[in-house]
A and B are shown apart, each in its own frame.
Chain A
Amino acid sequence: MKPMKTLYDKIWDAHLVTPETDAPAILYTDLHLIHEVTSPQAFSGLRKRGLKVRRPDRTFATMDHSIPTTSRSLTGFDEIAANQVRQLEKNCKEFGIPLYGLDSPNQGIVHVIGPDLGLTQPGRTMVCGDSHTSTHGAFGALAFGIGTTEVEMVLASQCLLARKSKNLKVNFNGQLQRGVTSKDMILALIAKIGIGGGTGHVVEYAGSAIRALDMDARMTICNMSIEGGARAGLVAPDDTTFQYMSGREFAPKGKAWDEALARWKQLPSDEGAHYDRVVDIDVSSLEPMITYGTNPGMSIPLTGRVPKPENAADAAALRYMAIEPGQALLGHKIDVVFIGSCTNSRLSDLRNAAKVLRGRKVSPSVRTLVVPGSYQIKKAAEAEGLDKIFKEAGAEWREAGCSMCLAMNGDQLEPGQTSVSTSNRNFEGRQGKGGRTLLASPLTAAASAIAGHVADVRELGGLQ
């Protein structure tokens, strides 16, 4: 009898160049995505060794982290950041790597364009020098973030040294209530297992509530796997996956598509496969979630009250956030709303935000940024008139990039400001030195922009 395997086991086994012994396994990577921030030192390493890129055809580059989102030009932009971008251009040219730069219609956040272009495919191994590479797991691809030394290793050999992780299964069952989204599901999970709860594991998200989500929503969940400590998160591919992929630029076509489909259908975990750990969450009673502290595990239901700190670190987090134990977050005053990032900048996220903002005005005291995840998403949103809704509401409509998620490009909070942000991290200073971040869904973010304080979209009306 064949051994029962999980989705992770199957992809792992299919990519072993050499198995794990005393030495780690050599794992083949099908696709390597690179960007301007974590690659320059890797290319310098290649030059020093006199090496070339083994598979430039399996390597794609874009720029996202440090670029401006006010325009698609570096003129007048931070000279150090501009230099880094130019270095990426030079490296890609020298080593023959396709680059989707600021002038390309394929430019965007690396974890948005991979799926956009059909580069992200079920069963693939994918790496990128960015921890949110876990996003691509939504397609049943084993995808994880790596450091710059590993970027150099993959450029040189198309392989990684790796030891197998444990299998963690998270079952999301039940039906989401109105106003509750996949962002709330993942925040609830991280609150439950803790930000180190998934360390050493690859997560497989399963259950009826996952099956009911569209691909954008699944990506939001896999994206934040790393905030629970897991390097990779997976969803087994199904018809929703295949429909999304069909016809995309790099997706297989014709006979190759039929063959790929047959392969992909073999990927889901075998019945009876072993998981080292299983977590169950019923989403039926789930409320919109929002963070109140300085890590993504510190979240509560939107109508809840901030818990008393259990230790000195939690107390310090509340002091940093200027939030009192026992207080409600609804009504908490905010200065900025950021709708964007590799977590929540896709077309359905923008539609959700637009649904709330249509015909309304953001509070004059709130600066609201809407930053699409890619140039293509920007154009698709504009074709639907979403840009007009945002602009008429008084929000800024930006070019694609990481923007205020990590505040590298000048889009940032001022010291002491509080944001409601659809991004993934609320670490101290993450969105600007001294800035305070409340993580939430695009629905909650948009409702809060209108109110000028943390608000519940379910109280606003206008939701289908």
Chain B
Amino acid sequence: MKFTSKAVLVPQENIDTDQIIPARFLKTTDKVGIGDHLFEDRPDFGVKRGSQILVAGDNFGCGSSREHAVWALVDFGFKAVVSTSFADIFRQNSLKNGFLPIVVDRQTHALLNAGTNLTVDVDNQTLSIEGGPTVKFPIDSFSKTCILENLDEIGYVLKHDAAIAGFESRG
């Protein structure tokens, strides 16, 4: 899996899930159209549709566990977000939606400018910067397989039904 897109930059650190999608848009019971409210209260970020790769500051996605944050990014058209670190729950939610939280070091992060073409190669776990270096990024091997082979994690767990039942019978 490989895709190339211009980078959209929101360089602030600690962008929390309330900035990604404010709580008043969590009253929905489905996921349709949720991208319309991405960064709704942060017009200063200037994020517009048309790119697949968001570049954000450190500790992106901190705060609440709302998966709506990931759904909004995906519905808006993003396939990946690049930062120097991610909050744990956000990272988890991302991978479960086939959305890539790509961690790079500070040096690499400093090379990422708005409008630069970036290529993400999931198989080889590389991020290529147009006119710059190609760097490796880490990804959990299990999550990588799930994303590349479009495997369903819930289906995977349910295949262990006998082991779960065994655990339950041990009390």
A→B interface (CB under 8 Å): 17-18, 22-24, 26, 28, 37-38, 40-41, 44-45, 49, 51, 54, 65-66, 78, 80-81, 83-84, 87, 129-131, 133, 145-150, 152-153, 156-159, 161, 163, 165, 195-196, 199-200, 226, 229, 231, 295, 311, 313, 316, 406-408, 425, 427-430, 433
Establish whether residues B93 and A429, one from each chain, have CB atoms under 8 Å apart when the complex forms. no
Interface centre among B66, B163, B166 (most CB of A within 10 A): B66
Q: How far is A441 from B85 in the complex, measured between Cα atoms in Å?
A: 30
> Nearest B residue to A87 by beta-carbon distance?
B29
**15 intermolecular pairs with C-beta atoms under 8 Å apart:** A23-B142, A26-B160, A38-B65, A38-B66, A54-B164, A83-B29, A147-B66, A147-B89, A147-B96, A149-B154, A152-B154, A163-B140, A406-B64, A407-B23, A427-B19
Q: How far is A54 from B168 in the complex, measured between Cα atoms in Å?
A: 11
Q: Which of B18, B57, B96, B158 is the one whose CB lies under 8 Å from A150?
A: B96
Contacts of A40 in B (CB 8 A): 29-30
B63 at the interface (CB under 8 A from A): yes
Q: How far is A284 from B3 in the complex, measured between Cα atoms in Å?
A: 56
Establish whether residues A313 and B12, one from each chain, have CB atoms under 8 Å apart when the complex forms. yes
Q: Which of B12, B31, B62, B66 is the one whose CB lies under 8 Å from A196?
A: B62
Given A78-B27, A406-B23, A429-B41, also A157-B154 (CB < 8 A): yes
Establish whether residues B59 and A229, one from each chain, have CB atoms under 8 Å apart when the complex forms. yes
Q: Which of B58, B59, B142, B167 is the one whose CB lies under 8 Å from A28?
A: B167
Contacts of A129 in B (CB 8 A): 65, 67
Distance between B166 CB and nearest chain A CB, rounded to angstroms: 8
Contacts of A195 in B (CB 8 A): 14, 59, 62
Contacts of A65 in B (CB 8 A): 23, 26
B16 at the interface (CB under 8 A from A): yes
Given contact pairs A161-B153, A229-B87, a sample of 18 additional A-B residue pairs in the complex whose CB atoms are under 8 Å apart: A17-B167, A18-B163, A24-B142, A41-B29, A44-B30, A81-B27, A129-B65, A145-B64, A146-B65, A147-B93, A157-B154, A157-B161, A229-B59, A229-B62, A406-B18, A408-B27, A427-B18, A433-B22
> Nearest A residue to B57 by beta-carbon distance?
A313
Distance between B168 CB and nearest chain A CB, rounded to angstroms: 8
Establish whether residues A159 and B164, one from each chain, have CB atoms under 8 Å apart when the complex forms. yes
Contacts of A428 in B (CB 8 A): 18-19, 41-42
Contacts of A313 in B (CB 8 A): 12-14, 57
Establish whether residues B89 and A149, one from each chain, have CB atoms under 8 Å apart when the complex forms. no
Establish whether residues A199 and B66, one from each chain, have CB atoms under 8 Å apart when the complex forms. no
Establish whether residues B65 and A425, one from each chain, have CB atoms under 8 Å apart when the complex forms. no
Q: How far is A339 from B67 in the complex, measured between Cα atoms in Å?
A: 27
Interface centre among A147, A229, A231, A316 (most CB of B within 10 A): A147
> Nearest A residue to B60 by beta-carbon distance?
A196
CB 8 Å contact bits of B48-65 with A (1 = contact, 0 = none): 000000000111001111
Q: How far is A87 from B97 in the complex, measured between Cα atoms in Å?
A: 23
Establish whether residues A157 and B157, one from each chain, have CB atoms under 8 Å apart when the complex forms. yes
Q: How far is A406 from B70 in the complex, measured between Cα atoms in Å?
A: 19
**Inter-chain CB contacts under 8 Å: number:** 171
Establish whether residues A145 and B65, one from each chain, have CB atoms under 8 Å apart when the complex forms. yes
Establish whether residues B14 and A196, one from each chain, have CB atoms under 8 Å apart when the complex forms. yes
Total chain B interface residues with beta-carbon distance under 8 A = 51
Interface centre among A28, A44, A84, A150 (most CB of B within 10 A): A150
Contacts of B67 in A (CB 8 A): 38, 41, 129, 147-149
Establish whether residues B27 and A425, one from each chain, have CB atoms under 8 Å apart when the complex forms. no
Q: How far is A231 from B90 in the complex, measured between Cα atoms in Å?
A: 11
Distance between A256 CB and nearest chain B CB, rounded to angstroms: 12
B150 at the interface (CB under 8 A from A): no
Distance between B147 CB and nearest chain A CB, rounded to angstroms: 13
Q: How far is A150 from B90 in the complex, measured between Cα atoms in Å?
A: 12
Establish whether residues B24 and A407, one from each chain, have CB atoms under 8 Å apart when the complex forms. yes
Establish whether residues A17 and B89, one from each chain, have CB atoms under 8 Å apart when the complex forms. no
> Nearest B residue to A198 by beta-carbon distance?
B88
Establish whether residues B70 and A147, one from each chain, have CB atoms under 8 Å apart when the complex forms. yes
B141 at the interface (CB under 8 A from A): yes
Q: How far is A80 from B30 in the complex, measured between Cα atoms in Å?
A: 12
B107 at the interface (CB under 8 A from A): no
Q: How far is A262 from B28 in the complex, measured between Cα atoms in Å?
A: 45
Distance between B152 CB and nearest chain A CB, rounded to angstroms: 9
Q: How far is A159 from B157 in the complex, measured between Cα atoms in Å?
A: 8
Contacts of B31 in A (CB 8 A): 41
Establish whether residues B163 and A17, one from each chain, have CB atoms under 8 Å apart when the complex forms. yes
Establish whether residues B163 and A147, one from each chain, have CB atoms under 8 Å apart when the complex forms. no
Q: How far is A196 from B83 in the complex, measured between Cα atoms in Å?
A: 13
Q: How far is A38 from B21 in the complex, measured between Cα atoms in Å?
A: 14
B92 at the interface (CB under 8 A from A): yes
Establish whether residues B14 and A231, one from each chain, have CB atoms under 8 Å apart when the complex forms. no
Establish whether residues B63 and A146, one from each chain, have CB atoms under 8 Å apart when the complex forms. no
Contacts of A311 in B (CB 8 A): 13
Q: How far is A44 from B28 in the complex, measured between Cα atoms in Å?
A: 13
Q: How far is A200 from B27 in the complex, measured between Cα atoms in Å?
A: 30
> Nearest B residue to A128 by beta-carbon distance?
B65
Distance between B60 CB and nearest chain A CB, rounded to angstroms: 10
Establish whether residues A200 and B158, one from each chain, have CB atoms under 8 Å apart when the complex forms. no
Interface residues of B in 1-39 (CB under 8 A from A): 12-14, 16, 18-19, 22-24, 26-31
Contacts of B140 in A (CB 8 A): 24, 163
> Nearest A residue to B64 by beta-carbon distance?
A131
Contacts of B57 in A (CB 8 A): 313
Q: How far is A18 from B18 in the complex, measured between Cα atoms in Å?
A: 35
Contacts of A148 in B (CB 8 A): 67-68, 93
